[in-house]
Structure 1
Amino acid sequence: MKTLALFRHAKSDWSDARARDFDRPLNERGQRGARAMGAYIKSTGRSFDRMIASPAVRAAETVEEASKAWGCTFKVEWDRRIYLASSATLVDLLKEISGDPASVLMVGHNPGLEDLIFDLVPDDGSSPLRDVVEQKFPTATFAVLELDIDRWSDVADRCGRLVELKRPRDLDPTLGPVLVD
């Protein structure tokens, strides 16, 4: 059994139309969302043997803000392949993990993270949280999958169960979408 946690980068800033997508920082709501998620992850008592993250500015700032709230720093393995990666690319990256860690936290982007959940978790009712992901996997969402594998090289479609899903708005309604009457 392996544990894979997925953490989508927090809300980014779109105010500079000239900025490259890769260079977009977090906006204020994103900073608050990343800190809220960091505090939440700390409250769960979860720990991770490895953290692999996209080096895009918004992902790096998500790691930084969440780590502040979590109260620890991580040795992060930055991997550019995560940036806007497809599920297939993320699976390939997982299969390459060396050292056989029991748990990995991946920080990245949609639609890749969402699609990875759809590929790893069967659509058979065994993971009711999968239906929530089908509705939306918003920025700064944290998900935990248990994978029925012995080695990371064994990652394959339908090998997992989605056992935890937390969105920023679950912690603070002001971190969710703006609702219009």
Structure 2
Amino acid sequence: MKTLVLVRHAKSSWDEPGLDDHERPLNERGLRNAPVMGHRLAERGTVPDVIRSSTAVRARSTAQLMARAMGLMHEHVELDERLYGASPETILEIAGEIDDSIGTVMLVAHDPGLSDLAFSLSDSTIEHMPTCAIAEFRFDIESWRDAVDADPVDVWFDTPR
């Protein structure tokens, strides 16, 4: 069994209009929501073995705040520049590269790729992933490479609201 947890970064700040999109930080709501969602995952019993995050500041910060809330260290957060603006196919490719000894992986990325992938994997029940939303998919597979073609056996979805 493999568990793929997709997380859209928490709410980001638009306070600095000239700031490059990649460098935008979290706003106050994002700083509050990320730990709350990390606690919800931990309470659910879903603590990732590996967290991979987009290199964007808002995604990195979300991943680090959630990791801390789940009792994990920053070392659990790996950065992958391919997750910034990734398509659903790229996100699944990244999941497919995970070592098969890993049971649960969290990928922190952006829309529209995350919503499109969640929509596809959830058989159209998850239409949109708002900021800091979590979509968890459990697959009855032994290799992460098989996630590309597998249908999840269980889907869970949660948002900060």
Say whether the fold is shared (TM-score over 0.5).
Answer: yes
Confirm whether residue 160 of structure 1 aligns to residue 115 of structure 2. no
Quote the sequence identity (%).
Answer: 41
Mapping of 1:81-96 within 5 angstroms? 81-96=82-97
TM-score normalised to structure 1 length: 0.81
Q: Following TM superposition, by how much is the alpha carbon of 1:165 offset from its aligned partner in structure 2, in angstroms?
A: 1.0
Q: Secondary structure at the match of 2:155?
A: strand
Which runs of 5 or more residues in structure 1 are unaligned?
Answer: 124-129, 170-181
Letter in 2 for 1:100: S
Which has the larger displacement, 51-60 or 39-48? 39-48
Confirm whether residue 112 of structure 1 aligns to residue 113 of structure 2. yes
Structure 1 distance, partners of 2:67, 2:2, is 23
Q: Following TM superposition, by how much is the alpha carbon of 1:54 offset from its aligned partner in structure 2, in angstroms?
A: 0.7
Q: Following TM superposition, by how much is the alpha carbon of 1:158 offset from its aligned partner in structure 2, in angstroms?
A: 5.5
Query: What CA deviation, in whole Å up to 9, does each residue of 1:101-128 have, x standing for no partner?
Result: 11111111111111112233334xxxxx
Aligned position for 1:25: 25
Confirm whether residue 141 of structure 1 aligns to residue 142 of structure 2. no
Aligned position for 1:38: 38
Structure 1 distance, partners of 2:153, 2:23, is 33
Q: Following TM superposition, by how much is the alpha carbon of 1:22 offset from its aligned partner in structure 2, in angstroms?
A: 0.4
Structure 1 distance, partners of 2:54, 2:116, is 16
Which has the larger displacement, 143-152 or 60-69? 60-69
Larger radius of gyration: 1
Q: Following TM superposition, by how much is the alpha carbon of 1:41 offset from its aligned partner in structure 2, in angstroms?
A: 1.6
Q: Secondary structure at the match of 2:69?
A: helix
Question: Which of 143, 150, 153 is 1:151 aligned to?
Answer: 143
Q: Following TM superposition, by how much is the alpha carbon of 1:29 offset from its aligned partner in structure 2, in angstroms?
A: 0.6
Q: Following TM superposition, by how much is the alpha carbon of 1:4 offset from its aligned partner in structure 2, in angstroms?
A: 0.5
Which runs of 5 or more residues in structure 2 are unaligned?
Answer: none
TM-score normalised to structure 2 length: 0.90
Q: Secondary structure at the match of 2:148?
A: coil
Structure 2 distance, partners of 1:115, 1:84, is 12
Q: Which runs of 4+ in 1 moved over 4 A?
A: none
